[in-house]
Structure 1
Amino acid sequence: MKLRNLFSFIVLAIGLASCGTDDDFVITPARSISEVIVDDEKLLQDFFATHFYNYEEFENPAEDFDYKIVFDTISGENSDKISILNSESFGFTSVNVTSDIVGAEGDESIDHKVYYIIAREGEGAQPTFADSTFVRYEGTPIEEFSQEGDVFDSATSPVWFNLTTSITGFAHGITGLKAGGEVTENVDGTFEVQDYGVGAIFMPSALAYYQGTTGINAYTPIIFKLDLFAVNEADHDSDGIPSYLEDLNGNGRLLDDNTNEDEEELVNFEIPNFSDPDDDGDGVLTIDEIKINGVIVYNADGTIKFPDTNGDGIPDHLDKETF
């Protein structure tokens, strides 16, 4: 499934040159993110202003309603519909993108918006960008979108999905939804989740497949319709710290947070903190360095109270000087 390919959008595009042998080629530099985001935003905003979703069915669902989002153009008999842009269910969150992340030249850093529709919020747990989610989804390039859609990737039956391996826009867009509630077993042995979250995510190409992938052209914004059935909070390295709290630089990604990166580079074996049971590489497991008198202590807001033995402002589990 393409959604699982975290790195597909950062591979540099190679253009063949028509000058001599088959071995001759040139590497085509990626367009700058400041240029692409302007084009992406225009496509997105045009879509939001000229399309609506079946909000009336969600507001007053018929007994046989399937809770599927359907997009259509505001025209003709639908001229009075509320656009996505003006919908109360419409919102966005921001994620920073730098040139190096998408393989573009330059040294740009620009916030990109992930837009979403929350058609039905759900009533269960709300995921972070680093959790494991049980989802059903359908992806469509926005430049090719029609009422039926040209689906490039989908999971028609729910699958467990580790958001740390997904494209950035999906991992952050899904955080607006909540999981379902009660689970009931049908007479045929299948299970049904009540009041699961239903929504759609719209993302610029820098948060998806910047230079393209199979079925998607380069610099193409995409849409994901999704249903969120269940959430498991992730602690990938079992160090007692939820993975989303190991985003030390706060950029919404986990692969570039590595406290002892310099040392690990020497042995060519780098492990980001969320996958590293010894974050500072001092030989003492992180789970032991975050305990106070043998137990993990929590603040009033539910976050972990990290000990700082030498008072230098660096928690023990990130400080080689304390062990």
Structure 2
Amino acid sequence: MKIKNLLIILAIFLFVFACGKDDDNYNEEDQALIDDEALVEYLQTHYLNEEDGGIWTIDAGQTPLMEQVDVDYIDYNDISYKLYYLSENEGATISPSTVDSVYTTYVGMLLDSTVFDIGSSLRWFSLTGTIPGWGYGFSNFKGGNIVVNDDESFYFEDYGKGILFIPSGLAYGNNEQGSIPKNANLIFEMTLQDVNRADQDLDLVPSFEEDLNNNRSMVDDDTDGDGAPNFIDSDDDGDGVLTKYEDINRDGNPMNDDTDGDGIPNYLDADDTESIEDL
């Protein structure tokens, strides 16, 4: 196994170990049900105030959030979750995958309205370095169209905007994180102004294209079974030829090269070992 991949896997293991559960009675599946009950109650008793854009407790028959949100059904670590999101504007361009980068502003809150983080200035975030709820939640929106001024400054219009209601299992779980307590469901008011497609292993295959089973998770796609998911594996089929060198027609896309015509692209087919270095 490549040293780079070993280091990545070790880093992931150490992170998971460090964030391990410190409560012997904690059960992720039970907590997911508890979280959903709490989120549903919150959505049924709160509304979006169109005047100030804030979330307020219903006191005069206002339309509850529950009637405005959509539900994203997510399987994560073999647990079923419901992530709720309210779309104020879908956006105009492309949606990010769970491993792309997003250009965003946000406000993070607890269900009791405590604000724990504010990102009022636009920043890029790689979704591989955020909570899973961001990766899945942002994928329901699209980026905006860039407008460049005469002085070369720019801004985005028609960008994604909404609110994510994230269960704790897709956030920090049974771990305290600063002012965020254990098992906290999180709310994020967010904008998605731009999306940057990632290619983590620089193999000419965009990382979102390496989700072969189309479940929006990249970590369970490992063609050669070497323990390194395809999106961080520069030799996806383990045939000794780097994926970027299996771009036989040299069009910058290894996904459309199939030398033996079996329907499997060379970079995923260990039987095809032809390389552009051989041509």
> TM-score, with normalisation over the residues of structure 2?
0.80
Please state if 1:122 is matched with 2:80. Answer: no
Please state if 1:50 is matched with 2:76. Answer: no
Shift of 1:246: 1.3
The residue identity in structure 1 corresponding to 2:66 is: L
- Residue 73 of structure 2 corresponds to 94
The residue identity in structure 2 corresponding to 1:126 is: S
Q: Deviations over 1:203-240 (max 9, x none)?
A: 11111111122222222211111111111222222322
Please state if 1:283 is matched with 2:267. Answer: no
- Residue 106 of structure 1 corresponds to none
CA change 1:124–1:248 in 2 (3 A) is closer
Alignment of 1:146-157 (within 5 A): 146=113, 150-157=114-121
Question: Using the alignment, how far apart are the partners of 1:186 and 1:178 within structure 2?
Answer: 26
Question: Using the alignment, how far apart are the partners of 2:248 and 2:158 within structure 1?
Answer: 40
Question: Using the alignment, how far apart are the partners of 2:260 and 2:168 within structure 1?
Answer: 44
Shift of 1:153: 2.6
The residue identity in structure 1 corresponding to 2:95 is: Q
Please state if 1:131 is matched with 2:64. Answer: no
Structure exhibiting the larger radius of gyration computed from Cα positions: 1
- Residue 35 of structure 2 corresponds to 40
Decide whether the 8 Å contact of 1:139 with 1:154 is kept in 2.
yes
- Residue 73 of structure 1 corresponds to 57
Question: Using the alignment, how far apart are the partners of 2:21 and 2:154 within structure 1?
Answer: 44
- Residue 129 of structure 2 corresponds to 165
Alignment of 1:123-272 (within 5 A): 123-142=92-111, 145-146=112-113, 150-185=114-149, 191-212=154-175, 213-262=177-226, 271-272=228-229
CA change 1:110–1:246 in 2 (3 A) is same
Question: Using the alignment, how far apart are the partners of 2:166 and 2:85 within structure 1?
Answer: 9
- Residue 266 of structure 2 corresponds to 316
Decide whether the 8 Å contact of 1:69 with 1:199 is kept in 2.
no
**Which runs of no fewer than 5 residues in structure 1 stay unpaired?**
1-5, 15-27, 58-67, 99-108, 263-269, 299-303
Q: Deviations over 1:180-215 (max 9, x none)?
A: 22424498x864322322111111111111112222
CA change 1:85–1:308 in 2 (3 A) is farther
Residue 200 of structure 1 aligns to a residue whose secondary structure is: strand
Decide whether the 8 Å contact of 1:49 with 1:84 is kept in 2.
yes
Decide whether the 8 Å contact of 2:204 with 2:244 is kept in 1.
yes
CA change 1:69–1:124 in 2 (3 A) is farther
**Which runs of no fewer than 5 residues in structure 2 stay unpaired?**
1-11, 274-279
Shift of 1:113: 1.5
Question: Using the alignment, how far apart are the partners of 1:200 and 1:186 within structure 2?
Answer: 33
Residue 127 of structure 1 aligns to a residue whose secondary structure is: coil
Decide whether the 8 Å contact of 1:10 with 1:210 is kept in 2.
no
Residue 176 of structure 1 aligns to a residue whose secondary structure is: coil
Question: Using the alignment, how far apart are the partners of 2:61 and 2:237 within structure 1?
Answer: 59
> TM-score, with normalisation over the residues of structure 1?
0.70
Q: Deviations over 1:7-29 (max 9, x none)?
A: 57971244xxxxxxxxxxxxx33
